[in-house]
Chain A
Amino acid sequence: MDSSNHKGHTHPVALRGLPSRQTDHMPPREISRRSMLKLMGASAALAAGVTGCDRKPERKIVSRVAPPEYMQPGVPLFYSSTWLEGDVPYGMVVRTVDGRPVAVEGDPGHPINRGTASAAMKASILSLYDPDRLRSPKLDGKPVTWSQADDQVLSRLKAASSVVLLTRATLGPSERALVDAFLAVAGGKARHFIHDGLHSGPRGRAWAEVYGGPGEVVPHFDKAKVILSLGSDFLGTDGAVLEATQGFAEHRRPDQAGGWMSRLWVAEGAVTLTGMNADHRIRLAPSGAAAVTAAILAAVQGDPAGLAGTGLDQAVLRALVDDLVAHQGEALVVAGPQMPEAVHALVAQLNEQLGAPGRTLSWNPEPHALPASDPAEIAAALEAGPDLLLMLGVNPGYDWPGGGFDALAGKAGWAVGHAMIEDETLALCALQLPSAHNLESWNDAAPRPGIHSICQPVIRPLFGARQEAESLLRWTRGLAEAEPEALLGAEDWHGFVKARWQGGVLANAVGVKGAERAWEDALRAGGLLQPVPIQGPALDSAAASRLIGSPTRPATAGNSLELVLLPNPALADGRFANLAWLHELPDPVSRLVWDNALAIGPGTAQALNLKEGDRVKLEKAGRAVEVPVLIQRGTADGVGMLYLGGGRTAGGAIAVGVGVSAVPLVQRPGADLSEWIVTGVAVKKLSGTYELVRSQTEFSMHDRPLVLDGTFEEFSEDPNFVEHRRHIPEPVKIHREFEYKDQAHWGLAIDLSACTGCGACVTACQAENNIPVVGKEECGLGREMHWMRIDLYLGGPEDDPVFHRQPVMCQHCDNAPCEMVCPVLATSHSPEGLNEMTYNRCVGTRYCANNCPYKVRRFNFYDYPKRNLRGPVMELAHNPQVTVRSVGVMEKCTFCVQRINEVRFREKKEGKFKTQDGAIQTACQQTCPSKAIVFGDMNDPASRVAQLHQDSRAYYLLEELNVKPSVAYLAKLRNPHPALADRAAGAQAADHARHGGEA
């Protein structure tokens, strides 16, 4: 990196993917300009005169002065690194072209995410090129240089008698060492606090109590045959989601892994992605969780008497207890981080009773997130009026529990904020410092025992930004009288991280290979990644009993709700709020876009006399928020759910004003059931309505066989059960038949049993294919541009729905209805079965979209790339391998034809004329956290995709239309408890009854 010359790296290929006049829609023409002139009979003199105002697009080629030898124009380079923006570090591989990062992909060698990625991870490339990033250090609103800023900080640090350092919880080992070094140098005058809106909380506190120290319990969903989740959204927002999803999905397709299928029981108040994937979902208000868990624990221990007092369906609870007991050593119980301490203590005991530790649970003595400081302590430290307040990478200005951080920050003599964008916190600071992005930073992480990841920069910091750690290192050195030994003599932060690795984790390798070589090998591999499972410390039963106390359920008053505040599946605690991709990604549960709303069940809505779109005021202890109402089937009675992360008041052009902030209702520890479970919230209906936009408005399948599903039992008895439900058409030969002799025939297979519906594929597709965002209003008009979507259907009873999910993209039909109606042959059939879309040929009649039965074609109603452009730097986030479309052009899924071409061109150049199965991955497939999508050549009988198309669960969407799609769906399997199987059948019958008349 360092040796590369960044001067003039622009090469024609770098212009690819950038909107320019050349990419504008331009139909092919027969008459050249020259012959046109002749036709018009223009004289030579005229032609000569006209040449003067020639509009020939003159483009420049600017090659490097002295390129590094490994870098060739247009040839991508890949770097291993670590994604550190989320709760859990994931391994990533960054694709760079001509020195510019163009894509973030999961690192297949990383043991936690194993090649998969989340939506936020894919959107990382967008935040790198965010034009709202702070452009230079600012002192009292005026730009200053870094050395001026450092001088200011240092002079004040030296003069200060009390300093408060506020950081986020997710600090890597090197960052922790640096903070320690800073505190040592500062002597007693500096205090370090950790502010974090999502980590720790009641779960961390309970674990610390019952296991006698910091640490975290790591669940292994791939090993559990029976899983009980008490409000834990482990597939959506809780913990290492990518690891959990992959582990969980592994045993949801018994025909492909081990022959057994796990059973997921979920007891939750609000509907989460995990609840949607449950085999049995129990609607349970979080305030009742402790009592129910206690009853289950007692029943597992042999005393089922308590079950009757829970008020829940006895048959379900008994089946659950039987299931847990029958799977001793193979069962796993998890509880959501927002659940009160008592529940976590009970869960610890329940896991102990079920023999989970060491089997389905392991222990991590040093979690990636440090325990957060008690806000009361931080407040006290600030109330005391420190001379200097340093805030590195935190945003308490937005997410301080209950709000009102500005008053506290005002108590400090002088405040420094270090962040990428001028956010709510930086607005309170005299000195504002621009932070470098994840892709511009050196760092490390040790998320699990034995896993040491390195984060390396792939581009120099844009806009003169600097890493927070680099700043702290300079301040530490500047403050010290003598060179601090703790800094290992490192010149800068990069040197510090490197020296720490060479002297620590890599010590053995350094002895064998030498320091430089050991470091480079580790960099290439993304770190040292050899997980070591650790069995946890013994459970302190006395501490657990103390925490449990006697679980009682708080009384509820009329017109009040029990409010659950959950992290937004896409925006987390709001840190990703300036990323438009994540706002436009429909919520996996409600399909809501660009908003935040109070989700309540239909029963609660009726009781409170509320409709969807009504505005309400939620009030607790004098603090209130005003939100629109969203009716979400499946929400427990008396429970409301609001996402965190909305309603930013600063932090970028996209972030501001989207949704409502739930922060005013976040509680201090101990004030209510937990920080994020607020009881007795008064609901007051306000006048007026608010328009919520969901990407989908119809949630019924109307009895059509769109998502086929069956139970594991049914499947075991008759593996061909899907066959009986399919509508296989009589072959009608009115179409030209395509044959794929000696050629590839590309196809996709999607396992609905593995798909959790998280939506990472949608954002992956958006990133890969330069898909624009359209905003709330256009989404409301049904003009979203996503090439793939996740359809959601709700069956079963009104209040207890069964969820069906189905990712839908262009099905690349053999008898494609779109191809037949295009008047200009802009959409055509490739010899390899792709349904091609040629933008430069399209004139925008939209006939194809009208004729598509799957509704997967998207039309550019506006010149979105220009409309969305907030500065030229944004253009760099485009994938240079894909054309940027302009107004009036139709577009749709191409099966990532650029990836097909890239691999096949490369292989052909290498003299290989048969593509290996698995060499080509579509963006959705590569990203899919549950590995539900498989792409390949259907003409190769040995390929995975060909085999999946022959699978007994395979069927095609709307196959009765005889369009011959190339996408096979594998029917979803559910695994209800045998004692409750009749209920599942009953639910299906209820579904039929509801829609019987409409079919």
Chain B
Amino acid sequence: MQIFTPSFDRRVYIFLLVILATTAVGIPFALYALWPGNVEAGYAPKQPIDYSHKLHVGELGMDCLYCHTGADRNAVAQVPSLATCMKCHSEVQTTDSKGELTANMQKLLEHWDAQEPIRWVNVHNLSDFVYFDHGRHVGYWDPEKQRQVKRMECQECHGPVEEMEVMSRHASLKMGWCLDCHKQEPQPDTSPGLATRGPLHCSACHR
């Protein structure tokens, strides 16, 4: 009497194959799902209103600081309030070919009428244990020239925003990416603000 029949062998093979297949699919799946993820470069989530940086910055030539007030001075680059949008859009209201307000315009006005803030999706999202300061990077007060001076262009980190129809993340914003710049030797520059290299020690950003 044969204990291990050919069909048994077949069943063992199928069993092993199933296990292998499950593992091959399941492990990456589980890792992907469970790995605490930073958002990668190229992240371009759908926003509640299809706001176009390309139009506002690229074509209309608006300054970044008009909406993102304080980015050259404060730690946080402000996301514009509805009131900032309405400074222009109480007058400028785009219509489609039929002369009706565009869907985006309508949404903005609805929010304004309801005095309900827009819940934008954060594109440049840093971890909570990172304390990034926009002001330290973007600008400083030059005591000699007696005016606010720009140190870095916004595009150096945020990419060609003026060409982006949908805002997307240009850089990974990971620590290694930060350090790429911080490790560079200082630029020959007479202003005291750029005479030193960016800090490399932990407590400059983590605390």
Contact = CB atoms under 8 A, between A and B. Distances in A.
A649 interface: no
Contacts of B121: 58-61
Interface stretch (B49-57, B92-100, B135-143): B135-143
A67 interface: yes
29 contacts: A8-B117, A18-B128, A20-B128, A21-B36, A23-B128, A23-B129, A28-B175, A36-B32, A37-B28, A40-B24, A42-B28, A50-B29, A55-B36, A55-B37, A58-B122, A60-B121, A60-B122, A61-B79, A63-B81, A72-B76, A829-B201, A831-B199, A832-B201, A836-B203, A882-B207, A894-B207, A897-B207, A901-B207, A911-B143
Interface string A792-804: 0000000000000
A652 interface: no
A909 B143 CA distance: 10
Main secondary structure of the interface of B (DSSP, over half): loop
Given A7-B115, A23-B128, A59-B125, A46 B25 contact: yes
Contacts of A882: 207
B119 A56 contact: no
Contacts of B117: 7-8, 62-65
A12 interface: yes
Interface stretch (A595-603, A689-697, A837-845): A837-845
B83 A66 contact: yes
B176 to A, nearest CB: 9
Contacts of A552: none
Given A37-B32, A42-B28, A65-B83, A911 B142 contact: yes
Interface residues of B, number: 61
The 10 closest A-B pairs by CB, nearest first: A74-B76, A8-B117, A66-B83, A911-B143, A59-B122, A830-B201, A838-B202, A836-B203, A40-B28, A911-B141
B135 A909 contact: yes
Contacts of B88: none
Interface in B55-102: 69-70, 73-76, 78-83
A558 B6 CA distance: 97
B40 A74 contact: no
B186 interface: no
Contact of B76 (A13, A28, A59, A881): A13
Contact of B70 (A36, A46, A75): A75
A61 B204 contact: no
A875 to B, nearest CB: 12
Contacts of A841: 202, 206
B28 A58 contact: no
Contact of A40 (B27, B33, B75, B81): B27
A26 interface: yes
A731 interface: no
B32 A33 contact: yes
A53 B33 contact: yes
Contacts of A498: none
B128 A16 contact: yes
A24 interface: yes
A60 B47 CA distance: 10
B133 interface: yes
Nearest to A742: B196
B201 A883 contact: no
Contacts of B13: none
A56 B31 CA distance: 13
Contact of A50 (B28, B73, B141): B28
Contacts of B143: 911-912
Contacts of B120: 60-63
Contacts of A834: 201, 203
A256 interface: no
A364 interface: no
Nearest to B148: A909
B206 A838 contact: yes
B39 interface: yes
B192 interface: yes
Given A72-B74, A910-B141, A898 B119 contact: no
Contacts of A20: 128
A908 interface: yes
B37 A33 contact: yes
Given A828-B201, A881-B131, A883-B206, A55 B192 contact: no
A21 B27 CA distance: 22
Contacts of A901: 131, 203-204, 207
Contacts of B175: 28
A74 B134 CA distance: 11
A302 interface: no
A591 interface: no
A533 to B, nearest CB: 45
Interface string A15-31: 11110111110101000
A830 B207 CA distance: 12
B109 to A, nearest CB: 13
B43 A56 contact: yes
Interface string A804-838: 00000000000000000000000011111010101
A36 B27 CA distance: 11
A844 to B, nearest CB: 15
Contact of A61 (B27, B31, B122, B135): B122
Contacts of B129: 22-23, 839-840, 883
Nearest to A50: B32
B35 interface: yes
A36 B31 contact: yes
A74 B73 CA distance: 11
A50 B33 contact: yes
A589 B83 CA distance: 57
Given A57-B125, A830-B201, A905-B135, A12 B76 contact: yes
A7 B207 contact: no
Contacts of A65: 81-83, 112, 115-117
B74 A24 contact: no
A42 B26 CA distance: 10
A73 interface: yes
A830 B204 CA distance: 9
A836 B207 CA distance: 8
A11 interface: yes
A33 B35 contact: yes
A163 to B, nearest CB: 44
B34 interface: yes
Interface centre among B78, B83, B120, B140 (most CB of A within 10 A): B78
B154 to A, nearest CB: 16
A851 B125 CA distance: 37
B201 A908 contact: no
Interface in A53-98: 53-67, 72-75
A75 B135 CA distance: 12
Given A65-B83, A836-B206, 5 more contacts: A15-B128, A23-B128, A72-B76, A74-B76, A910-B140
Contacts of A21: 36
Nearest to B32: A50
